[in-house]
């Protein structure tokens, strides 16, 4: 496994170009499976299911991308993890649904490192937090992590994002993942202001093997 970690923010088009090349190399046996941890400057991305009406205020650059899902925000204070894996080599029978479940589990276990309970929700992509235990109103939920993947010849790319301490007002320019009835949150918003990006990266590395073996 090749772990890449960029300290400087990465241009989105450059990230796409890298992933396209790495996916081809992995498929041809010229590169290892790769996880790339990074941040982007503020931007919105549109997945293959994006509804134009969900782009409320394009205050930042908008990129069309071939990943699944709808509109997503990326920006400073958010850890993006691009995951490039050869599912055929990793699993005897490749299963996209199982892969998505594993990404969810990876996020859930990472959040648990910081005493935050992330949960799945049927019909809602990503990982969600019930806000009441963190001082919010009863019944209110918010999204703390997004998932959007693409698979080519059974090699995955794109991946996940976890909100550490992004400017949450930046999400107001879109309907995140097409879901308007729930908000967004972050580790710092939940009172975990002592958590750094290095802490989050270390947790991602530590829990990866628990899920993906």
Residues carrying an active site annotation: 177
Helix axes 96-112, 197-212, angle to 10 degrees: 140
Residue 135: which region, alpha, beta or left (left: phi > 0; alpha: psi -120 to 50)? left
Residue 50: strand, helix, or coil: coil
Q: Look up residue 168 and give its two tokens.
A: 């949450």
In the chain, DSSP finds a helix count (H) and a strand count (E) of 4, 11
Q: 3-state DSSP call for residue 74?
A: strand
Q: Which residue has the tokens 């400073």?
A: 76
Residue 182 is classified by DSSP as S
């Amino acid at each position: 496994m090749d772990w890449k970690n960029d300290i400087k923010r990465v241009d989105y088009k450059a990230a796409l170009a890298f992933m396209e090349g790495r996916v081809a190399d992995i498929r041809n046996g010229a590169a290892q499976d790769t996880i790339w941890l990074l941040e982007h400057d503020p931007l919105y991305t549109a997945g293959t299911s994006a509804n134009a009406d969900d782009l409320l205020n394009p205050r930042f650059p908008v990129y069309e991308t071939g990943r699944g899902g709808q509109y997503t925000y990326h920006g400073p204070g958010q850890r993006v993890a691009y995951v490039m894996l050869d599912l055929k080599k990793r699993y005897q029978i490749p299963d996209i649904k199982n892969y998505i479940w594993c990404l969810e589990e990876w996020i859930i276990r990472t959040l648990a490192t910081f005493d935050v309970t992330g949960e799945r929700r049927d019909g809602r992509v990503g990982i969600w937090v019930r806000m009441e235990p963190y001082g919010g109103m009863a019944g209110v939920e918010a999204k703390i992590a997004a998932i959007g993947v693409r698979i080519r010849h059974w090699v995955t790319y794109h991946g996940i994002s976890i909100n550490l301490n992004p400017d949450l007002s930046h999400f107001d320019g879109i309907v995140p993942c097409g879901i308007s009835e729930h908000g967004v949150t972050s580790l710092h918003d939940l009172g975990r202001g002592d958590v750094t990006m290095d802490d989050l990266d270390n947790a991602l590395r530590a829990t990866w093997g628990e899920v993906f073996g």
